[in-house]
Structures are given as C-alpha cells and as structure tokens.
Structure 1
C-alpha cells in the first residue's frame, strides 16, 4: 500500500473534531496543508519507531486550542525551544506546548513516543495534539509542581517546598523505572537522548512525570547503537556519544547519572568546580570526595539542614551508583534495568533500617 493510502487511512482513524466556536484568544491558526504534512510525518515516525503500532491520539482543532488558553500573556518555558500556555480543557488544567524552533519531525516524534509511553505511571500524560498548525501543538496535563530543576533551584525567586532525601531517592527510582521501560518495552529499544531535570515534571504528590521525547531514537534490531547527529544538552550528554555520534542505551545511563548527582548535591553539571586537582566537573568533584571519604561535603545542604543523613552506607551506595552511571566508557555503565533495581533495593533497605 502506498504511503499516500496509508496516510489517508491514518488521518481517517484520528477522528478529527469539527470546529467549535472560536475562543477568547486567537493565538493559533492552521490549515489542511499542515494537517497533511504533519500527519504524514507522524505516520513515518510511528512506523520507524514502533513498526506502525499505534495507541489512540486525540486530535484537537485550532479552535479547541484557542478556547483552552487562560491568558495569552502567561507563557511558560522550560527551554529555548519548549514554551507554551496554561489552559483549561474539560474542566482540568492543561499545558499547551508550542514547539517553537523544533522541526516537524521532532515534534511528531514526541507525539509518537509520548503516546506509546502514556500507560506508564511516571510519564507526563499527553492528552492530544493539533496537526493543523505549522508545527504540531501538544496538549499535556498540567503539573502544578513544575520541573525537577525548578524544585532543586529557586529559578524565579519563589519559595519552593524542599525535596527531602527519601523523596529524592524515590524520584531517582521513578525516573530510572520510566527510562528502563523506554529501553525494554518495545520491539526496538528507544533511547531518550535528552534526560535532564527540565524534562522531569513532578505532580502534586512529587511523583515523576517524564517528558521531552522529541529527540528519542530507536536502536536497530541486532545492534547496540546507532549513528546520528549529536544533539541534546551537552552537560548531560555522554562523552562517547559527543565524540562519536553513536547513540546507545548507555547514553541515557550517563545522563541519568548526571541527574542522580544533581539530586544528591543540589548542583548542576554545567558548572566547573575547583578542587586540589584544579578545575573539575561535578562528577570528578564527587569522585574526589568519595576517594577521601568526605561524602558529607557533597550532599545538598538543604536536605541536611536538620542534621546529616543518618545512613552513610546507603549514601555511599548512591554515590557509587551515580559515578558508575557517569563512567566515561559506555561499556562500563550499568543498564537502566540494573540501575532501577539497585535503587529499589537501596530504598527498601534504608526504610528497613529506620
């Protein structure tokens, strides 16, 4: 069957809604040409990543989008490419995500992966999308607590509830569990390629909602890695990927190791630190502290404000796990399944020791 025929059936199955009366703000516009181009690209992404396997997608009209927006001037941004509006749909708050500067291909890839990952409890729930706009607009559930980065650092000067040590351990495990699922649940392993605190949302109970799937890539059957352009956030990107352009599951493991260090230290890998060895990275600084048994120095002071972490054995295990994930050689890193298992064991063991 030709692609044009596949696209015709694909668009028919989306059950596109009829236009509604225009909303208060006329922010979005679109046309049938965009629908056809976006629909074709989305179909290609679903075939490439999931062999055409599909979960249902709700397709919003442009009028639907315009009717959602609560305030056209209230724009939320988590990166230079990811911005959007706070809105309401069906009586619930939503995040209307605009992929400004992101290619049609990457926006459609995010739709494809987020839809397939939607059954996992630790994934940011995609409610639907609009394909009539120039680049697809995505509609997600609104997560009031914001991103993990905003909870670790006081970005806008607002007072935020401190994440306690036990919460950070659980958050780390939930991220690991979601990424392990991404690597193992489908016919082909899918690599996230953009794991960072900005792509981890927290719900009202501080449970993880992993997001940001636009840069995902699949590993071909029988292969350990795939060559592609080097993209993502450099401070969280694996050095072997940055050098060779080869993406592997271990690339995500490195990024996760950086996130685990952020949760532990409250510091970010983009900063250069000073030590007896001169200017070093965050992982090198933590490794030095580990080597001289000064782990208390690396712990985020906000979680030791009432005294040191009681169980230094489990603290050491977390540091060693983070450093093994951050190994320069991808072959030396554990798998995400192993990481999730180790974290779960540490959480259970630390709970039993209290």
Structure 2
C-alpha cells in the first residue's frame, strides 16, 4: 500500500486528526452574540438577514491551508473553496460583528463579497466568505507582493470602477440611514473568476445619525493616501469621505501607481493626486494611463479619458462640498461605459 493510500485510510478511520486551529465555548458565543445584536440595532434597528452559524468543528474541518492577500485562511466547505477570516482582539471583535451585520444586509448586491456564515463560539468571531479566484484588485492593478500584473482592457477598467461605485452608492442609500464604508482601497475589493467586483471589509463602517450630515469618531480608520483630509484632521465622517477614497482608488486603477510618493519616467513626484492634477492642467493625460491597460481596437477617445480623470479629481476635491455623491459618480461612469460601447 502506497504512503498516500495509508494517509487516506487513516483519515477515513479517524486515526489521524487534522490540527485544531480553532477552539471555543458557549461563553464566547453569548458574548459575541450580544455584541452582534448591539451592532444590528445600532445600524439597522435590529433588522437582519439570516446567516449560517458554523461550529468550531466546522471551522477546523474546512481549513486546507494557504492564505489570501489579507492573511485569511483558505478552506473548503460543501465542496467549494472558502476564505476564513479571523480577528485577533476584543476591539477587532466589535468590528467583526459590525462586518457580519453589514455584510448580511449587503448580501443582496451582486458586487459585494458574499458572507457564507460565521462562528461566534471562538474567542473572537470568525467569518467565512466565498473564495474569490482572482484575489484582490490590488494584485490585479499593481505589482503587489512581487506578482506581475496582467493587462487590463479599457472597458474592463471602466466596468470595475462602475461596479465599485455602484456598491458604495448602495451602501449610502439603501438603508434607513447612510452607512459610510471608511475602508475603500484596492485591498478591500476582490475580483471573482469573471473579473467582477466583490466589495469587502465592512468592519469599519459607521452610520450617519438621522438629520445629520456627519458623525465624529475618535478613532481614525482607513489607509493613508485614501483618507479624506477633513476626516484625517478632525475625525468627522460623512459620505463624502468615501467619495474622496473612491477618487483616489479610481486614480490608482487608471494609473497603476501608488497614491503616495512615486516615480514616473525616473522622476520622483509628490502624491498621485497632485501629479494627475498637473497633467490635467497641461493636457498631457496620455501620460497617466497605466501602459498595461490595453486600448487596442476601439481606442478610448480623449474625451472619455478626460471624463474619467475629471470624475476622479472631483471626487478627491479638497473641499468636501465640491465632491459629487456616489450615486452621481455611478451614473456618470455608466454613461461613459455606454458611450464606449456605442463606439465599438
């Protein structure tokens, strides 16, 4: 009998056990359940869609090894690949419960990373998501972790931008009070096997109270380079903070560059926003497009490129009052997509 046959035999007869990664108890379940209920009341007045609750044994049996860009574990459940995401401390535990609350309500949107279930018996909640074959948008549009990025069609770049904007607009408008994501960046956007967007990481979301335009939070959450300046300065959170983050994300998607200090043609620049703004002012926008974005065949007309850049720059305006809403942004991007389709 071959060694692999012996291994399979022992597994079938429970003589060889898989390593137990997770452990838990009923006390954890009630503590985490209480926090989850508080989040659901705070965000959705207690309303919630149903969610599958996994046991600790379920978690341990599904882990197969390997991880995603954000350190989540790879597993298999019901014959399908899954992403198992854990949280490491009690503060993050609250964010985990918030993520469960928001992700279950957002689950009806086709461009949201689907949450399959969670385990509350562990010390801190563990979430189980669908596995997205193409990883994060970060690995798709930058040389992330040494990976060589693939070419990207112009029409696909437009579609990705619109799908992100559409999902965020839904988050802002679909519920009884606006919910701000606060974490928009390419690492929190996954792509499925067809390249469609799956917006993720709702743990840092915050809702705007009725009758208010913003809310203050003592804890600044987000990624430097994507944070709206007024939020970074004062902790004031509004829908316009997501709009700013989206503007920077759109520039990163278009250029393939980091939002921080970067080099272009062996010359060092300041921020990506400053560089693109300068190029727009002197009408040299052809220099900003990532060379891996293929514009063969139906060439992206200059008017379309200007429109995309103008949308990004208006979103990232220093004055929050000058920024459009995410609904407006999604509508403008859809109009450009229709224009591009008509030119084919």
> TM exceeds 0.5?
yes
Q: CA deviation at 1:242?
A: 0.6
- In the alignment, the residues of structure 2 paired with residue 163 and residue 138 of structure 1 have an alpha-carbon distance, to the nearest angstrom, of 31
Q: CA deviation at 1:231?
A: 1.5
The 1:328–1:308 alpha-carbon spacing in structure 2 relative to 1, beyond 3 Å, is farther
SS in 1 for 2:129: strand
Structure 2: segments with no counterpart, 5+ residues: 1-13
The 1:290–1:160 alpha-carbon spacing in structure 2 relative to 1, beyond 3 Å, is closer
Deviations 1:158-217 (A, max 9, x none): 445322111010000000000000000000100000000000000011000000101000
- Say if 1:129 and 1:136, in contact at 8 Å, map to a contact too: yes
Q: Does 1:86 align with 2:80?
A: no
Q: 1:333 — aligned with what?
A: 323
Deviations 1:255-306 (A, max 9, x none): 000110011101010235689xx85211110010011010001000111585
Q: CA deviation at 1:332?
A: 0.6
Q: Does 1:50 align with 2:40?
A: no
Deviations 1:65-102 (A, max 9, x none): 0000112xx23342xxxx22111000110001112355
- In the alignment, the residues of structure 1 paired with residue 93 and residue 28 of structure 2 have an alpha-carbon distance, to the nearest angstrom, of 10
- In the alignment, the residues of structure 1 paired with residue 158 and residue 238 of structure 2 have an alpha-carbon distance, to the nearest angstrom, of 25
- Say if 2:300 and 2:340, in contact at 8 Å, map to a contact too: no
Q: 1:280 — aligned with what?
A: 270
Q: Does 1:323 align with 2:317?
A: no
- Say if 1:23 and 1:63, in contact at 8 Å, map to a contact too: no
SS in 2 for 1:334: coil
- Say if 1:99 and 1:135, in contact at 8 Å, map to a contact too: yes
Q: CA deviation at 1:135?
A: 1.0
- In the alignment, the residues of structure 2 paired with residue 210 and residue 138 of structure 1 have an alpha-carbon distance, to the nearest angstrom, of 15
Q: 1:140 — aligned with what?
A: 129
- In the alignment, the residues of structure 2 paired with residue 151 and residue 61 of structure 1 have an alpha-carbon distance, to the nearest angstrom, of 34
- Say if 1:296 and 1:308, in contact at 8 Å, map to a contact too: no
**Residue of 61, 65, 77 corresponding to 2:59:** 65
**Residue of 90, 98, 105 corresponding to 2:94:** 105
Q: CA deviation at 1:307?
A: 8.9
SS in 2 for 1:138: strand
- In the alignment, the residues of structure 2 paired with residue 310 and residue 51 of structure 1 have an alpha-carbon distance, to the nearest angstrom, of 46
- In the alignment, the residues of structure 1 paired with residue 51 and residue 298 of structure 2 have an alpha-carbon distance, to the nearest angstrom, of 48
- TM-score normalised per structure 2: 0.91
Q: Does 1:150 align with 2:139?
A: yes
**Residue of 248, 252, 259 corresponding to 1:269:** 259
Q: 1:252 — aligned with what?
A: 242
Structure 1: segments with no counterpart, 5+ residues: 1-20
Q: Does 1:96 align with 2:84?
A: yes
**Residue of 232, 238, 255 corresponding to 2:222:** 232
Q: 1:123 — aligned with what?
A: 112
Q: 1:18 — aligned with what?
A: none
The 1:309–1:267 alpha-carbon spacing in structure 2 relative to 1, beyond 3 Å, is farther
Q: 1:183 — aligned with what?
A: 172
RMSD: 2.0
Q: Does 1:36 align with 2:24?
A: no
SS in 2 for 1:234: coil
- In the alignment, the residues of structure 2 paired with residue 348 and residue 158 of structure 1 have an alpha-carbon distance, to the nearest angstrom, of 32
- TM-score normalised per structure 1: 0.88
Post-superposition, which runs of at least 4 consecutive aligned residues in structure 1 deviate over 3 A?
A: 156-161, 272-275, 304-310
- Say if 1:23 and 1:66, in contact at 8 Å, map to a contact too: no
